[in-house]
């Protein structure tokens, strides 16, 4: 290092040290300011602040509003609240949770199920004030704990409102259930900035109407200013702003109709959606099997949760709005209408049905061996000729089919007021292009159009979509958004906010075409594939049977039901509307693995229509599910 | 005595090698105060104290490890550490987890990690490394470039949004620029420019940030919302008086009037229970720690180690001043922990790594001075 550099270095070092000095001075100045502030607060203003701290004995306690009720269209209560005592633990104040629980178990019955649920709640809840270890205490248990309260810290008995679903499993998928608020829920509530209103609220709607109308049902949290003593216990109430109870929700659903429908299913899996065509009001929404929503009310225990989640019957899955099924032959009336509207067929056009349709080197078989002979449009619906619709699909082409079916809502969410609705698949070349990644899979083959015509192939819709399409047809092409809620009822003010029928769109169909298809569907119930199920009906109805293949049959294989495993058997479907003139109800029924549509689904539709139109209850449960071998000949499916 | 054939005296020498006794004692004293306040804030529940002890053990191990690294190696590590920090911040912006409306955390399955935290050390290291390379010919454009190097991470953190950490990273970088000898005239000019920028900056702030500033100016306007924090913590400090209410006896704390009493507002707990005397002790401990750090900076051999030691020390000061000022109601509420005292593993780790850096610089003060 030269002398000049060294000197330079010394200058730089001195400059640096000067700046260190400045920094040190800054630190001293800042700390002096802090010190001055401390002296101000803690010496000069100490008396004032001490007084404030003394006065600071007012705690603001949230008052939880009671949750709104859910009622059916006739005022029958579907979800209500009742008061019960719970034994609660304040985890922050308890040193040894396990020991405290063991000690509590000496006074009240605490099952392993309760412990498991408590642990689950402890994990899921952030900064929980208190968590229930036992709910619904008996009076005797309350007395025993109260007498020994001095033994415990961080334990308290509280009176709380509990949710109850008096109808149990019935309509569980429509009503839904509530569950305890989890950390994720809190974050979501913070995002929509309503967390302040949820102070003190433990429960939130998880599914069904309980979830989709959560904000209406919740109400407005009140608050009470309470004077507390040095130990933090409340002494007296200073002021009170009462909580405003949540609004009651009145449904369009008829719980008795729903009960009839669910009973008609028996032990079978499936779904039913019944809609009032002129308004879109949902009269019944069945998904079987159901589950008991009361299980969820005070936190479901892990065993029951596991059982519901792992059951192969998938009871938590709402098949009515999230289950996707090929519509089978219930697609044919819409195909027929499309053919008329697009001028591809007239009522007089006939074809010859030899029992199969040949396209390229493939042979598409009719479900009736030997075929139906000469078939016109009317007969094609009444007897459900497959060959007729193979040809029709080929003549219309996939773009025309997809374009027409889209207008009926196929492959589009219906917009029903429930969460978790599936969109389904309306097959088209564009859909296939987007769905698959490999070029050879993306191409649409003309042969794939053929089975689309009979509601097979890539077709996959929810029962709700099928019901909406049927209701739209019944309503002469005016589509109303399906909805479960009739009105929101403010019990305090008596104000009722009605859900106005919402016209989604008008299809502008030619009246004579609609009349023709409706008449053909009446023929189905009168003399066609569902004539046996509708024998002796005191009202006129239109319908269509359907059978949806679960497994594809090989070219020369014959479907023999008894040889196929239960869960691979065909699904049974039926769509219907009644009465024929000015329909009051339109529905879609699906019975999973129920076999022919005429056998499993049509009788359920008959039972539901009988009750809805005539108030007639089914005589014996057996009538609802006749296990009679299907008559061959007239019924092709 | 021997352990595994190793003489105990040599083992002790090996372990204490590079550990600066005054720094170590001061940091430990502060951490001990923190554990006591934390115990009170948890209402005598030991589990949080145990968790903080585990954090402390981990942080001390990190401090020891960093203290062994020669400053030349630290200088070599600066660019990759800075680059890694930038990459991680970008990753947070793209894939980070949203907690409380801000995207700050990176979930690495095993640990959740806040990359903005490591920038508090990595940014000043990078700037010190840059000035060190340009030593002897530092010009105006070097300061401009350093400002740019600093602006990138600050902007990324501010966007998360995490104004508190962004300000701390900016402060850390600013201290390096200041110690590197930016001219006083330029500094004054920047200050004027900064004041002029306040107005447009106001419009860029998030709603909650504006609310915090408004609340500072007049907490009584919002007594149940954001102002509640300041009102209650000021009452806690003021009611503590000269001698305090005694350990575990703070009524503000124990009646749950103090929000975030384990973390950002733990000083209110301490101040209520130990009073003005406790506050003076705390200020003295911080002042001694800072004095020790500045002394180490003054005798550091290279430009890199001088700048880094100075900046790290001033970060301690900034933390302590901003936090206590916030609790005492003279600075706005920004999420800055009280160094060595607030509950939380990440902050503790950063702070002790800073202590480790100071120790490493102090230990190697003579090695290169030839």
pLDDT in tens, A514-549: 999 999 999 999 999 998 999 888 999 999 999 988
Q: Which of A16, A35, A42 shows the shortest C-beta gap to B238? A: A42
H-state helical runs in A105-213: 112-124, 139-147, 172-175, 183-191, 208-212
Residues on chain A touching B211 (C-beta within 8 angstroms)? none
Phi, psi of B3 (to 5 degrees): -120, 120
How far apart CA A205 and CA A190 sit, in angstroms, is 16
Residue A234 — very low, low, confident or very high, per pLDDT cuts 50/70/90? low
Q: Which of B234, B294, B306 shows the shortest C-beta gap to A41? A: B234
How far apart CA A444 and CA A427 sit, in angstroms, is 10
Inter-chain residue contact A46 with B178, CB threshold 8 Å? no
How far apart CA A259 and CA A257 sit, in angstroms, is 5
Residue A431 CB burial class (10 angstroms; 0-12, 13-18, ≥19) = middle
Q: Is the pLDDT of residue B108 over 60?
A: no
Q: Of residues B36 and A159, which shows the higher confidence score?
A: B36
**pLDDT value at residue B107:** 61
Q: Domain A255-624 belongs to what topology?
A: Beta-lactamase (3.40.710)
Residues on chain A touching B287 (C-beta within 8 angstroms)? 27-28, 31
Phi, psi of A79 (to 5 degrees): -145, 130
How far apart CA A617 and CA A626 sit, in angstroms, is 16
**pLDDT value at residue A229:** 59
Q: Of residues B177 and A367, which shows the higher confidence score?
A: B177
Residue A260 — very low, low, confident or very high, per pLDDT cuts 50/70/90? very high
Q: Smallest Cα–Cα separation from B289: which of B66, B31, B58?
A: B31
Most confident of A136-145, A255-264, B34-43: A255-264
Query: Has residue B9 been placed in a domain?
Result: no
**pLDDT value at residue B219:** 67
CA distance from start to end of chain A: 103
Residue A366 — very low, low, confident or very high, per pLDDT cuts 50/70/90? confident
Q: In Å, what is the CA distance from B52 to each residue of A348, B35, B59, B105, B345?
A: 87, 8, 10, 20, 7
B286-321 pLDDT, tens digit each: 999 999 999 999 999 899 999 999 999 999 999 999
A39 touches chain B (CB under 8 A): yes
Instruction: Work out the percent of chain A whose per-residue pLDDT is above 70.
Output: 90
Mean pLDDT of A234-242: 77
Residues on chain B touching A154 (C-beta within 8 angstroms)? none
- How far out from the chain centre does Cα A38 lie? 59
**pLDDT value at residue B15:** 81
Q: What is the ipTM of this complex?
A: 0.92
Q: Is the pLDDT of residue A598 over 80?
A: no
Q: How far is B198 from chain A (nearest CA, A)?
A: 22
Q: Of residues B332 and A377, which shows the higher confidence score?
A: A377
Inter-chain residue contact A31 with B321, CB threshold 8 Å? yes
Q: Are A270 and A288 in contact (CB under 8 A)?
A: yes
Q: Is the pLDDT of residue A507 over 80?
A: yes
**pLDDT value at residue B4:** 62
Instruction: Give me the sign of the Cα torsion angle A21, A27, A32, A35.
Output: negative
Q: Smallest Cα–Cα separation from B38: which of B316, B273, B202?
A: B273
How far apart CA B318 and CA B305 sit, in angstroms, is 20
Mean pLDDT of B242-271: 84
Q: Is the pLDDT of residue B58 over 50?
A: yes
Q: Helix, strand or coil for residue A205?
A: strand
Q: Hey, which residues does A70 pair with through a beta bridge? A: A79, A249
Q: Is the pLDDT of residue B32 over 60?
A: yes
- Please state at what angle helix A46-55 crosses helix B227-240, rounded to 10 degrees: 120
Q: Which of A15, A20, A41 shows the shortest C-beta gap to B298? A: A20
Mean pLDDT of A316-321: 93
Q: Are B55 and B105 in contact (CB under 8 A)?
A: no
B204-226 pLDDT, tens digit each: 777 766 766 676 666 666 555 55
Phi-psi region of A237 (alpha: psi -120 to 50; beta: other; left: phi over 0): beta
Task: Give the up-direction half-sphere exposure of residue B40: CA atoms within 13 A in the CB hemisphere.
Answer: 30
- Please state at what angle helix B140-158 crosses helix B115-133, rounded to 10 degrees: 170
Residues on chain B touching A196 (C-beta within 8 angstroms)? none
Q: In Å, what is the CA distance from A122 to each residue of A183, A520, B44, B74, B198?
A: 11, 61, 20, 45, 46
Question: Which residue out of A172, A287, A329, A451 is catalytically annotated?
Answer: A329
Weakest mean pLDDT among A441-445, B80-84, B194-198: B194-198
Q: Is the pLDDT of residue A497 over 70?
A: yes
**pLDDT value at residue B224:** 52
Q: Helix, strand or coil for residue A40?
A: helix
Weakest mean pLDDT among A40-44, A119-123, A200-204, A260-264: A119-123
Q: Are B278 and B263 in contact (CB under 8 A)?
A: no
**pLDDT value at residue A629:** 36
Inter-chain residue contact A232 with B175, CB threshold 8 Å? no
A59 touches chain B (CB under 8 A): yes
Q: Hey, which residues does A80 pair with through a beta bridge? A: A164
Q: Is the pLDDT of residue A87 over 60?
A: yes
Mean pLDDT of B273-296: 96
CB pairs under 8 A between A and B: 128
How far apart CA A313 and CA A290 sit, in angstroms, is 10
Query: Has residue B1 been placed in a domain?
Result: no
B65-77 pLDDT, tens digit each: 999 999 999 999 9
**pLDDT value at residue A622:** 46
Q: Is the pLDDT of residue B253 over 70?
A: yes
Q: Is the pLDDT of residue B282 over 80?
A: yes
Query: Has residue B144 been placed in a domain?
Result: yes
Q: Hey, which residues does B6 pair with through a beta bridge? A: B3
**Mean of all residue pLDDT scores within chain B:** 85
A24 touches chain B (CB under 8 A): yes
DSSP string, A275-311: E-TTT-BEEEEEEES---GGGGTT---HHHHHHHHH-
Q: Of residues A389 and A190, which shows the higher confidence score?
A: A389
DSSP class of residue A633 equals T
Q: Give the domain range for residue B171.
A: 18-363
Mean pLDDT of A208-221: 92
Q: Are A510 and A539 in contact (CB under 8 A)?
A: no
Q: Is the pLDDT of residue B270 over 90?
A: yes
**pLDDT value at residue A197:** 81
A377-394 pLDDT, tens digit each: 999 999 999 999 999 999
Q: Smallest Cα–Cα separation from B231: which of B329, B126, B99?
A: B329
Q: Are A586 and A577 in contact (CB under 8 A)?
A: yes
Q: Is the pLDDT of residue B1 over 80?
A: no
Query: Has residue B74 been placed in a domain?
Result: yes
Q: Of residues A199 and B67, which shows the higher confidence score?
A: B67
- Please state at what angle helix B345-363 crosses helix B115-133, rounded to 10 degrees: 20
How far apart CA A249 and CA B151 sit, in angstroms, is 55
Q: Using CB atoms and an 8 Å cut-off, which of residues 80-99 of chain A contact chain B?
A: 92-93, 95
Q: Is the pLDDT of residue A267 over 60?
A: yes
Q: How far is B253 from chain A (nearest CA, A)?
A: 11
How far apart CA A348 and CA A350 sit, in angstroms, is 6
How far apart CA A300 and CA A303 sit, in angstroms, is 8
Q: Smallest Cα–Cα separation from A25: which of B358, B332, B314?
A: B314
A329 is catalytic: yes
How far apart CA A470 and CA A477 sit, in angstroms, is 10
**pLDDT value at residue B291:** 96
Pairing state between β A542-548 and A234-241: unpaired
Q: Helix, strand or coil for residue A28?
A: helix
Residue A348 CB burial class (10 angstroms; 0-12, 13-18, ≥19) = exposed
By C-alpha distance, the chain B residue nearest A51 is B239
For testing contact with chain A, the best of B235, B282, B283, B329 (most A CBs within 10 A): B235
Q: Are A149 and A104 in contact (CB under 8 A)?
A: no
Q: Smallest Cα–Cα separation from A398: which of A446, A363, A440?
A: A446
The number of domains in chain B is 1
Q: Hey, which residues does A203 pair with through a beta bridge? A: A180
A60-251 maps to which CATH number?
A: 3.90.1310.10
- How far out from the chain centre does Cα A382 lie? 34
The residues, any chain, with a CB within 8 Å of residue A9's CB and separated by 6 or more, are: A1
Q: Which of B46, B232, B276 shows the shortest C-beta gap to A42? A: B276
Mean pLDDT of B9-16: 82
**pLDDT value at residue B367:** 52
Residues on chain B touching A228 (C-beta within 8 angstroms)? 255
**Mean of all residue pLDDT scores within chain A:** 86
Q: Of residues A361 and A92, which shows the higher confidence score?
A: A361
Q: Are A461 and A552 in contact (CB under 8 A)?
A: no
Weakest mean pLDDT among A121-135, A498-512, A585-599, A605-619: A121-135
Secondary structure of B89-102 as H, E, C letters: HHHHHHHCEEECCE
**pLDDT value at residue A560:** 60
Domain locations along chain A = 60-251, 255-624
How far apart CA A87 and CA A107 sit, in angstroms, is 11
Weakest mean pLDDT among A350-354, A454-458, A625-629: A625-629
Q: Is the pLDDT of residue A635 over 60?
A: no
Inter-chain residue contact A24 with B310, CB threshold 8 Å? no
Phi, psi of B62 (to 5 degrees): -65, -40
Mean pLDDT of A112-127: 75
How far apart CA B364 and CA B367 sit, in angstroms, is 5
Cis peptide before B161 (omega within 30 of 0): yes
Q: Hey, which residues does A275 pair with through a beta bridge? A: A282, A586
Task: Give the up-direction half-sphere exposure of residue A511: CA atoms within 13 A in the CB hemisphere.
Answer: 0
Q: Helix, strand or coil for residue B365?
A: coil
Q: Is the pLDDT of residue A231 over 60?
A: no
Angle at A398 between CA A397 and CA A400, to 5 degrees: 75
């Amino acid at each position: 290092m030269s002398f000049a550099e060294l000197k330079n270095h010394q200058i730089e070092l001195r400059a640096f040290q000067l700046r260190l000095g400045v920094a040190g001075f800054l630190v001293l100045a800042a700390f002096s300011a802090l010190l001055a502030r401390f002296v101000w607060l803690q010496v000069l203003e100490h008396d004032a602040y001490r007084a404030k701290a003394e006065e600071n004995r007012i705690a603001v306690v949230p008052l939880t509003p009671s949750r709104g009720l859910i009622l059916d269209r006739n005022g029958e209560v579907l979800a209500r609240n009742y008061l019960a005592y719970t034994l609660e633990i304040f985890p922050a104040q308890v040193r040894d949770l396990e020991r405290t629980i063991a000690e509590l178990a000496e006074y009240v019955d605490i099952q392993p199920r309760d412990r498991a649920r408590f642990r689950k709640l402890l994990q899921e809840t952030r900064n929980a004030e208190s968590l229930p270890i036992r709910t619904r205490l008996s009076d005797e248990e309350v007395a025993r704990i109260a007498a020994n309260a001095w033994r415990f810290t961080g334990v308290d008995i509280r009176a709380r409102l509990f949710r109850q679903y008096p109808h149990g499993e019935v309509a569980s998928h429509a009503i839904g259930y509530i569950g305890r608020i989890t950390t994720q829920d809190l974050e979501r509530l913070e995002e929509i900035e309503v967390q302040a209103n949820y102070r003190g609220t433990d429960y939130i709607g998880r599914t069904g109407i309980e979830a989709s109308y959560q904000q209406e049902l919740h109400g407005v949290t009140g608050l009470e200013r309470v004077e507390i003593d040095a130990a933090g216990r409340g002494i007296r109430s200073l002021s009170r702003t009462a909580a405003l109870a949540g609004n009651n929700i009145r449904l369009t659903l008829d719980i008795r109709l729903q009960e009839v429908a669910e009973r008609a299913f028996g032990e079978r899996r499936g779904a039913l959606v019944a809609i009032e065509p002129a308004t879109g009001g949902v009269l019944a929404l069945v998904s079987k099997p159901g589950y008991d929503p009361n299980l969820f009310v005070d936190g479901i225990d892990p065993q029951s949760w596991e059982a519901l989640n792992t059951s192969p019957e998938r009871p938590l899955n709402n098949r009515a709005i999230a289950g996707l099924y090929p519509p089978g032959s219930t697609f044919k009336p819409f195909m027929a209408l499309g053919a008329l509207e697009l001028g591809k067929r007239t009522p007089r056009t006939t074809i010859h049905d030899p029992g199969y349709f040949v396209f390229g080197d493939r042979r598409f078989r009719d479900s009736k061996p030997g075929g139906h002979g000469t078939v016109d449009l009317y007969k094609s619906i009444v007897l459900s000729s497959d060959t007729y619709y193979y040809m029709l699909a080929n003549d219309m082409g996939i773009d025309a089919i997809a374009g027409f079916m889209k207008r009926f809502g196929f492959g589009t969410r219906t917009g029903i007021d429930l969460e978790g609705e599936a969109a389904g698949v309306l097959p088209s070349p564009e859909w296939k292009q987007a769905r698959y990644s490999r070029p050879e899979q993306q191409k649409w083959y003309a042969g794939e159009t053929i089975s689309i015509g009979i509601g097979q192939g890539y077709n996959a819709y929810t029962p709700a979509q099928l019901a909406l399409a049927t209701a739209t047809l019944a309503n002469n092409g005016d589509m109303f958004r399906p909805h479960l809620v009739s009105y929101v009822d403010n019990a305090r003010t008596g104000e009722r906010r009605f859900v106005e029928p919402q016209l989604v769109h008008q299809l502008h169909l030619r009246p004579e075409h609609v009349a023709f298809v409706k008449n053909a569907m009446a023929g189905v119930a009168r003399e066609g594939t569902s004539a046996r199920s509708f024998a002796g009906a005191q009202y006129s109805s239109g319908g269509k049977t359907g059978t949806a293949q679960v497994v594809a049959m090989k070219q020369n294989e014959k479907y023999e039901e008894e040889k196929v495993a239960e869960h691979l058997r065909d699904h049974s479907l039926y769509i219907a509307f009644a009465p024929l003139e000015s329909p009051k109800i339109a529905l879609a029924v699906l019975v999973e693995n129920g076999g022919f549509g005429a056998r499993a689904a049509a009788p359920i539709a008959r039972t539901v229509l009988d009750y809805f139109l005539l108030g007639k209850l089914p005589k014996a449960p057996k009538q609802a599910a006749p296990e009679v071998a299907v008559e061959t000949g007239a019924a092709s499916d | 005595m021997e352990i595994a054939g190793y003489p105990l005296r040599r083992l002790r020498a090996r372990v204490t090698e590079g550990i600066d006794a005054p720094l170590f004692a001061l940091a430990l004293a502060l951490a001990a105060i923190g554990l006591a306040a934390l115990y009170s804030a948890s209402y005598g529940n030991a589990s949080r104290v145990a968790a903080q002890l585990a954090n402390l053990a981990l942080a001390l191990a990190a401090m020891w490890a960093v203290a062994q690294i020669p400053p030349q190696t630290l200088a070599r590590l600066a660019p990759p550490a800075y680059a890694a920090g930038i990459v991680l911040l970008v990753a947070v912006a793209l894939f980070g987890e949203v907690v409380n409306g801000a995207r700050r955390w990176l979930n690495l399955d095993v640990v959740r990690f806040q990359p903005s935290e490591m920038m508090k050390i990595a940014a000043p290291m990078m700037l010190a490394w840059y000035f060190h390379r340009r030593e002897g010919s530092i010009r105006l454009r070097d300061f401009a470039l350093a400002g740019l190097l600093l602006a990138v991470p600050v902007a990324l953190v501010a966007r998360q949004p995490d104004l508190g950490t962004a300000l701390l990273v900016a402060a850390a970088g600013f201290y390096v620029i200041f110690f590197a000898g930016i001219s006083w005239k330029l500094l004054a000019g920047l200050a004027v420019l900064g004041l002029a920028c306040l107005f447009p900056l106001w419009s860029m702030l998030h709603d909650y940030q504006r609310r915090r500033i408004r609340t500072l100016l007049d907490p009584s306007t919002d007594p149940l919302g954001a102002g509640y924090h300041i009102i209650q913590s000021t009452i806690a400090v003021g009611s503590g008086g000269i001698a305090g209410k005694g350990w575990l006896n703070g009524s503000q704390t124990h009646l749950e009037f103090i929000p975030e009493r384990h973390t950002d507002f733990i000083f209110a707990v301490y101040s209520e229970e130990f009073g003005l005397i406790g506050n003076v002790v705390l200020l003295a401990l911080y002042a001694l720690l800072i004095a020790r750090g500045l002394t180490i900076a003054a005798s550091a051999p290279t430009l890199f180690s001088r700048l880094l030691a100075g900046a790290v020390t001033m970060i301690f000061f900034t933390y302590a001043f901003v936090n206590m000022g916030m609790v005492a109601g003279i600075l706005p509420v920004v999420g800055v922990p009280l160094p060595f005292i607030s509950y939380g593993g990440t902050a503790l780790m950063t702070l002790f790594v800073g202590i480790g850096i100071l120790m490493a610089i102090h230990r190697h003060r003579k090695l290169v001075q030839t």
